[in-house]
Structure formats: C-alpha cells, structure tokens
Amino acid sequence: MTSTQDEICSGGDINCSMTEEPAIVTGTADWRNLSVLENGSLIFDCDDFNGNIPFTSTLAQVILYILYGSMFVIALGGNSLVCAAVIRTRNNLRPNNLTNYFIVNLAIGDILINIFCVPTSVLSTLVFHYWLLPSQLCAIFNFFQAVAVLVSAYTLVVISMERYLAIMYLFRPRRGTKYAKISILIVWLLAMAISLPILVVSDVEQPDIRYEMCDFYTCTEKWSDKKQKYSYTIALLILQYLVPLLILLFSYISIAIVVWGKKAPGEAEDNRDQRMIRSKTKTIKMLMAVVIVYTICWLPFNVLNLVMDINEDINRWYGLPYIWAMLHWLAMSHACYNPFIYCWMSTPFRQGIFNMLKCVPIIRRFVPDRSHALNTSAVGIPLTGFDGQHNSSLRRKNNCTTYVSVRKKMNHNHGAPIRSASFRCNNSLRSSGPMHRHFVHLEVQQEESL
C-alpha cells in the first residue's frame, strides 16, 4: 500500500483489501463508496454520497416528508390565523387584555421555529447529510433556531405569570400595553443573550475525506473544549425546559386551586352554578393541556441531546438517526398545538377565525355560522321591571358581563323587585337600581385573562 492508503486504512474501523482492482475502503457508513487506487489517488462517487445511510430509501423519505410537511403546514397556518385573528378583531377584543399581545408573540415564535428548524433539520440533517445553504448562513440559522425555541418557551412563562397575577390579585391595577411591549422585548433580548454562544461557535466543516472530495460541508457547533459544550447543553436544558416547566406548574396549579374553590356570589342557582362548573372544568383542562403538552413534546428531545453530549459513542449507533428524527419531530410539533390550546378555547378568537374563513368562497359553505351560537350562549337571567312586568333581560355577550344582586331568588310570578343590577362592558361599570353593589366575579376575570 502507499502512504496515502496506509493513512486512510489506519483510521477508525476501516478495512482495506488489495487486489488487482482499485482498493475498496469499507467500514462505517461515513466511508462508503470510497476507493483508493494503487498510486494513492482516491475515487468517490459523489452522486451516491449517502450510500446506505438512514432515510435514503424512497419509503423512508416519503414518510419523513409527510410527517414534517403536515406539521409545517398546520403550525404555519394555525399560527398565521392566530395573528390575523388578533389584528382583524382587535377592536372587538379588550384593548387592555395583555394576553392578546403575548399570544401573538407566541405565534411569531412558533412560526420562526417552523422556518428555521424544520426545513434545515429535515433536508440537511436527515436526507442529504450536508449543508445546502451558503456557508455564511450556518451560524445565523443555528442562532435563530435557539432564539425561536427560547422565545416560545419564555412567552408561555409570561402568559402563565400574567394569568397568575390576574387571578391571585384581583384588585391590582391593570397594566397597560406598555407593560406588554416591555415584557415581549425582555423575552427576545433574554433569548438572544442565551443563544449568543451558538452564534459564536457555529460554522461549517468537512468532517472527513468524503466531504473534501465532493466539496460538501456540514453545519455544526465547533467547541474548543468538550466540557464547555457539555456545560452549555446543561444550561440550555435548565433555561429552556426546566425553569419554564417549573413556573408553568407553579402558576397553573395555583390558578386551578383558586378557580375550582371559588363559589359564585349570591344564592345558589342551578343554571348559573352549572355554567360555573363548566367554565371551571374548561379552564382547568386548558391549564393541564398547556403543561402536559409542553412536557411530552420537549422532555424526550432534551434528554436525547444530553445523552448524545455525555456519551459520544452513541453517535456511531446506526439507529440513532431514526430516534433523533422521531423525538425532533415531537419537539417541533409543539408549535402546532399552541393555536388550539390558547385560541380555539377563546370565543373571540374562535369567532374571528370563523369570520376570516367565511371570506374564502371555497370553504365558506363548510364553515358554520357561529354568531347565533355566541348570542344564545350568553350568560344572563331575565330581569323583572319595577312594575312587576317581565320586560327585558341583561345578558353577557362577548366581553360584557351582567351582575344581579338579590337577597332571594327572583320569582317571576310574584314580580319581586330588583335589589341591584349592574353590568360591565369594556372595563367600565354601570349600575341601575336603588342599591349599588360592586361585585367582582372570578369567572369574568378568568375570561379576561384565560
């Protein structure tokens, strides 16, 4: 053998067989289809770069494209609808409802996850196994991948804390839009600061002779010290997953305890109490869904990344790409669920989305008219006039809530007078009746914040 052959054949799990034909180098998947000639020159078929690497078969790639493609469309479409619904219905939503701003920011973060994480992961990492974009974009894409994930996680934290404060401190002054904008700015700055090391260490490289011969590159993090890489992985696990999860658990468990233990003001009424129970159940289900979905989606992928950094030998396992693809898809799919969890359970958002869908002629016939359902589902009880005649009723529609204070349950047949009636719409309180009482109803606060 020549010196070039000796150098190649001595590296890694490589076996070289010398015959009258060119020497064929066999061994790990990274060295497939590489030939060493007698004169020391190398031949490699770049058209068959991937060889028998996972996800090169037609069936595997079809399954991969279907899974990631459907996730990409659902996440991008759902989060875009959320942003459009907020903009379109901004006059109908409460202007001081800070959750609207945070939900839009969450949707933007999820859209960025789809743009920066999904295409490059599928094509460059799983299918072609080399960087497809210009080398200058390697660090930028890796940086914004981390930023998008952190923005999504920290926006969930901000939403949970805003709800916690709204429920636990009912009488605190409402914060304005300036507070929401500052909170969103802090979220983005914090995400960028945490992701800055990735921008510094990310670069393209040619890991072996195959890439050099075909002029291919991979986009990776080039840490000078393995301990630094391991420490940063631990820090990301804590800052991106554990801290947000603990805050979500604390805030939403506290809210669930208060919501379920709260009793409606006034004397018992079957219909009203049933509505309260349904509202509480719906709220608690939504809070549970937020925590459970976040845990299931992100925990396996974070654990896998930690194991890959601790035990580098696992990177040689042939089945690792399949495990990585499944857990990566599960983590990225979290962007699909947020629009349904946070917005589909909200009547104004749901109505706004239905109104936009009805503008599309093709799907207009398939979209039900929700306006009648919204009007008939409004909360209210018939009110009897001071003359004893039943003449009107106050109902809650969208953001308007009716309050009635009575010492005894009203009897329509006897025409009992109203002690006090008040309703609040768009954060203003008006009252009618000889006795004015200001009730603070927890259910209303839930609708504003949850």
So what's the pLDDT on residue 340?
82
pLDDT band at 441 (very low <50, low <70, confident <90, very high): very low
Question: In Å, how far from its chain's centre is CA 355?
Answer: 24
So what's the pLDDT on residue 43?
58
Look at residue 111 and tell me whether its pLDDT is greater than 80. Answer: yes
Under DSSP, is residue 204 helix (H, G, I), strand (E, B) or coil? strand
So what's the pLDDT on residue 153?
94
Cβ proximity of 301 and 333 under 8 Å: no
Residue 308 CB neighbour total at 10 angstroms: 15
Cβ proximity of 130 and 49 under 8 Å: yes
- Report the alpha-carbon distance of residue 14 to residue 26 in Å, rounded: 6
Q: How far is CA 231 from CA 203, 263, 306, in A?
A: 19, 49, 10
So what's the pLDDT on residue 201?
94
- Report the alpha-carbon distance of residue 231 to residue 224 in Å, rounded: 13
Higher pLDDT: 418 or 42? It is 42
The overall average pLDDT reported for the chain is: 72
pLDDT band at 176 (very low <50, low <70, confident <90, very high): confident
So what's the pLDDT on residue 89?
66
Residue 322 CB neighbour total at 10 angstroms: 14
Cα end-to-end distance, the chain, whole Å: 73
Question: In Å, how far from its chain's centre is CA 373?
Answer: 29
- Report the alpha-carbon distance of residue 397 to residue 271 in Å, rounded: 17
Look at residue 270 and tell me whether its pLDDT is greater than 60. Answer: yes
- Report the alpha-carbon distance of residue 215 to residue 41 in Å, rounded: 16
Q: Which helix (H) or strand (E) holds 98?
A: helix 98-116
What does the pLDDT look like over 207-263, one tens digit per residue?
888 888 888 888 989 998 888 888 999 999 999 999 999 999 999 899 888 877 766
Most confident of 5-9, 11-15, 196-200: 196-200
What does the pLDDT look like over 49-82, one tens digit per residue?
665 566 667 888 888 899 999 999 999 998 998 8
Domains of the chain, each with CATH number or no CATH: 58-261+276-355 (1.20.1070.10)
Question: In Å, how far from its chain's centre is CA 169?
Answer: 27
- Report the alpha-carbon distance of residue 159 to residue 100 in Å, rounded: 10
